[in-house]
Amino acid sequence: MSEQDISELEKSLGYFFKRKELLIEALTHRSFAHENPDKAGAYNERLEFLGDSVLGFVIVEYLFLSKNQLTESVMAKTKSYLVKESILSEIASSLSLGKYLRLGKGEEATGGRTKKSLLADAVEAVLGSVYLDGGYRKVKELVLRLFKGKIDAILSSGEFYDFKTELQEETQLLFGSIPEYRLAKQEGEEHKKIFTVEVYVTGKKFGTGKGKSKKEAETLAAREALKKLME
């Protein structure tokens, strides 16, 4: 990697390394290290392992401290969604991380710079390198800068999480009953309708949700009901 490459990526990350060699290691694939032992003392798998743990902790801490008082199950499933390969590779693409990877000839020839698995691994390795170079506060700042939009989208809309299934499991366990969703209101023009749905458990209203579809409204009602159950 050239000094210009390092500088470009640091600007994209919003973090400037004291030990540039950590960033270089984070971007070095096993194939490059095996083909160029004189140019690469290490490759990124150890940093990837560390970064995976750091990323998971930062996300869980953020979810735990959110005002939504999420259940353990919701936090676990939300975290699992956020750290999956497809999300990590999206983050990598937003940073143009693929162009900075150090790959062996075989990986280069087979499109390694756009492989989701390699990109996801590189994101975790970079996070591991930031943690070692700058400590927890710096890596937390970076994780939240990269992931906060996606986290908040989940918490605000429930789009990526099945709150209805979670609510059904909880109410069966607590009350031996499943939730009942009732359409309370629909308003607006045909192509701009807003639906209001209420969810009842054992005849008592536990939550209300509004959305552009019945499904969205039911999801938000279920999320509110889960929060009430926690309280």
In this structure, what CATH number is given to the domain that contains residue 124?
A: 1.10.1520.10
216 — phi, psi (to 5°)?
-65, -45
**pLDDT in the model for residue 97:** 95
Percent residues over pLDDT 70 in the chain: 98
162 is catalytic: no
Q: Say whether both 107 and 196 belong to one domain.
A: no
Q: What is the mean pLDDT of residues 162-186?
A: 92
Question: Is the separation of the CB atoms in 101 and 29 below 8 Å?
Answer: yes
pLDDT digits (tens, 9 = 90+) for 94-129: 999 999 999 999 999 999 999 999 999 999 999 999
Indicate if 33 and 136 belong to the same structural domain. Answer: yes
The residue from 25, 48, 107, 124 that is catalytic is 124
Structurally, how many domains does the chain consist of? 2
User: Which of these three, 157, 177, 205, is where a domain ends?
Assistant: 157
175 and 140 inside one domain: no
- When the pLDDT of each residue in the chain is averaged and rounded to a whole number, the result is 91
Residues 144 and 170 both lie in one domain: no
Q: For residue 117, which of 98, 136, 95 has the smallest C-alpha distance? A: 98
Please, which pLDDT band fits residue 160 given cuts at 50, 70 and 90?
A: low
Q: What is the pLDDT of residue 40?
A: 75
- Tell whether 71 and 136 lie within a shared domain: yes
Predicted confidence band of residue 37 (pLDDT cuts 50, 70, 90): confident
Listed residues 113, 128, 157: the one ending a domain:
157
Q: Residue 171's pLDDT is what?
A: 92
Determine the pLDDT at residue 21.
94
In this structure, the number of other CB atoms found within 10 A of the CB of residue 151 comes to: 20
Any idea what the CATH number is for the domain that residue 219 is in?
Answer: 3.30.160.20
Per-residue pLDDT, 157: 67
Provide the domain limits for residue 131: 3-157
Dist. CA 45–CA 30, nearest whole Å: 8
Same domain, 175 and 152: no
Write down the catalytic residue from 25, 52, 133, 224.
52
Catalytic site includes residue 124: yes
Overall average pLDDT of the 64-89 stretch: 87
